Structure 1
Amino acid sequence: MGGMAIELRTPAMDELGEAVSVLREWQQDTVMQLHPGDVGWFWRAGTEATAAAIRIWKRAGEVLAVGLLDGPRLLRMTIAPGAWRDEELARRLVADVVEPNRGVLPQGKACLEAPMGALIQELLPEHGWSAGEPWTPLHRDLAGPVKDPGLRIELVGPELARVRAVLQRASFDGSPFSDEHWHAMACGLPYADARCLVGYDDEGDAVATVTVWSAGPGRPGLLEPMGVHREHRGRGHGKAISIAAAAALKEFGSSSAMVCTPSTNTGAVATYRSAGFVRFPEVRDLCRDVRS
């Protein structure tokens, strides 16, 4: 591999499939990392915006790393399983992240998400980056049966897009999510292996929602996002919709269901654990202070 230049690319819209494909192949049950579902959820902004937010690193035509600019100052990245300790790649990634003229992250405050154990996690602190806030990954094995969630579950199609959007806004303060966002997301490549679910209580009210993303049979699926209507919390609906999400991923043939939430959100952690998810060790982004 020596002497082969590493190329950084922002893909054209018709090249997005390559990024989604490798993200599927790289998923592992033991690692929380950038998932095709993360790209799929971002796709609510449209295909053009999604392509503009993706970064791909290649060497000799092989994709070694994929990043998603999930906001102007957050790069979420994962690396090919065989390249986590590749020093040439790690140093190139560091240069592209640290230097603002590389077109990856701007000068000043910025954060990077990368797999724990990847060499870049050890190199960035040499440039003044430090650990950010802790996040808690949670994992549910899908080898066994998934019980009935206890909510009436409906699969979201175009006719329920508005209900799905209203639930999103009622679950997350400040969310601008609209039915137009849902339609854009549903047209994205990753949504071919995804489902949106809405849960209804005994009174017929839409109380909870989740979107699940498969990475293919035998690979972990992702919950992103899951929310409960603010007027219907404290009644077990978060647990129920999370169980429904696990059941949907099992139907896809997923090996497990995974989710990640800020460790400070103790309510969310407790909800997922009540739905059969097991905590993994905390993970942290690496961040550069605004003064750097």
Structure 2
Amino acid sequence: MPVSLTTPTTKQFATIVTTLGSWQRDGAPFQLHPGDLGWHARKGPADTAAALRVWARDGRTVAIGLLDGEDLLRMTCAPDLLADLELARALAGDVHDPGRGVLPAGPVYVEAPVGAALHHSLAHLGWEVGEEWTPLQMTLEQDVIGESGALRIEVATEDLAGDWLCVTAAAFQASSASPTSATAPSPSQVHSPSPSLSTQALERWRTMVSSAAYEGARALVGYDEQDRPVAAICVWSAGPGRPGIIEPLGVHPDARGRGFGRSMTLAGAGELQRLGASSAHVATPSSNVGAVATYLAAGFSELPRRRDRQRSA
């Protein structure tokens, strides 16, 4: 049975979020999550729809992909189809051929769940293994975990958006993939509303929190004993009884080494529990040993490591 490939419209976004949410299951390999779509949604409905690829067979959505930049496709399949060889060959063909409008010619990367037949099909087309990632998980069956240590935790509503954005920008400013375009002053300078916070960053925030994916999400900001915003996290639920994810977590560079990352992680896990999530998940490059150590210190356990697939030319 043929597999069709489409780029959805903005009106289809909510349905895609619901479908992807229904695929989240404890015990399944770490995979693309509605929270990944929600984090991307800060770029706007049109940009987010253009970055999505949806595969269907016999009227059923069978795979969903998100272009995280021009050269990386993050994708997953319906859980019962991860080992479907016919589907894997069709997906690999679409991903491999630049003419199909998924990935361009040249070096590109695909992130897919561990054990998916897609890995074998891409390898058959000459794709190699790429960067190693460490997925981690914390079950949320015990009592509420939200231990915050010395931090005062607040839900980042519109009034506190400036603090959340500035901390997140500062935490990632060394990376070319900085999650916001906000200017990031030191914590002692940050008070909401922040005069140095860009209008674009605030608009992206408002766009993100108004998206369908944010209905089960929370952004939290942590304040130290001097009432300075020093840590931020966003957690995304896929619905009651399903795994949630952390995306992103950041600590201001001036406040690192004081255990705030662990405290913020636990606060986020507690918030996911209150949202009804069955577990909290996160994945980080294995080379980022500091991030892995933070999650392990907060009580997360490592899942089987995953490698991206890459085509060198």
Residue pair 2:235, 2:272 contacting (<8 A) in 1 also = yes
Identity of aligned residues (%): 48
After superposition, the Cα gap between the structure-2 partners of 1:247 and 1:115, relative to the gap in structure 1 and judged at 3 Å, is same
Preserved CA contact (<8 Å) 1:196 1:211: yes
Q: What is the total number of aligned residue pairs between the two structures?
A: 287
CA contact (8 A) 1:134 1:262 kept: yes
Whole-Å separation in 2 of the counterparts to 1:208 and 1:274: 16
Cα distance in 1, alignment partners of residues 211 and 291 from structure 2: 28
SS, match of residue 270 in structure 1: helix
What residue is the counterpart of 2:114 in the other structure? 116
Aligned partners of 2:286 and 2:41: how far apart in 1?
26
Q: Shift of residue 5 of structure 1?
A: 2.0
Match of 2:34 in 1: 36
2-structure distance, mates of 1:227, 1:274: 16
Cα distance between partner residues in 2 of 1:121 and 1:99 = 16
- The equivalent position to 2:123 in structure 1, one of 98, 118, 125, is 125
Partner residue, 2:6 = 9
Q: Distance in 2 between matches of 1:281 and 1:242?
A: 21
Cα deviation 1:80-126 (Å, max 9, x = unaligned): 01111222211110110111000000001000011111111111112
- 1:46 matched to which residue of 2? 44
**Residues 1-292 of structure 1: matches in 2 within 5 Å?**
4-30=1-27, 31-145=29-143, 146-150=145-149, 151-173=151-173, 174=175, 175=178, 176-177=180-181, 178-289=201-312, 292=313
**Aligned structure 1 segments of 4 or more residues deviating by more than 3 angstroms:** none
- Alpha-carbon distance in 1 for matches of 2:105, 2:296: 39
The TM-score normalised by the length of structure 1 is: 0.96
Q: CA deviation at 1:162?
A: 1.2
Change (3 A) 1:185 1:147: closer
Residue-by-residue CA offset, 1:248-291 (whole Å, 9 max, x unaligned):
000011000000011111111111111111111211110011xx
Per-residue Cα deviation, 1:175-210 (whole angstroms, up to 9, x for no partner)? 234222211111111101100000011111101000
Partner SS, residue 149 of structure 1? coil
SS in 2 for 1:224: strand
Local SS of the residue matching 1:170? helix
Opposite residue 163 of structure 1, the aligned amino acid is D
Q: Give 1:14 deviation, angstroms.
A: 0.5
Structure 2 portions without partners, runs of 5+:
182-200
The CA deviation at 1:147 is 4.8
Structure 1 contact 164–179 (Cα < 8 Å) conserved: no
Q: Which runs of 5+ in 1 are unaligned?
A: none
Is the CA contact 2:146–2:269 (under 8 Å) kept in the aligned structure 1?
A: no
**What TM-score, normalized to structure 2?**
0.90
Distance in 2 of aligned mates of 1:24 and 1:182: 22
- Aligned equivalents of 1:87 and 1:280: distance in 2? 25
Distance (whole Å) between structure 2 residues aligned to residue 188 and residue 12 of structure 1: 14
Cα distance change of structure 1 residues 74 and 223 upon mapping to structure 2, 3 Å threshold: same
Q: Which moved more, 1:149-158 or 1:100-109?
A: 149-158
CA-atom RMSD in angstroms: 1.0
Q: Distance in 2 between matches of 1:168 and 1:179?
A: 13
Amino acid at match of 2:214: Y
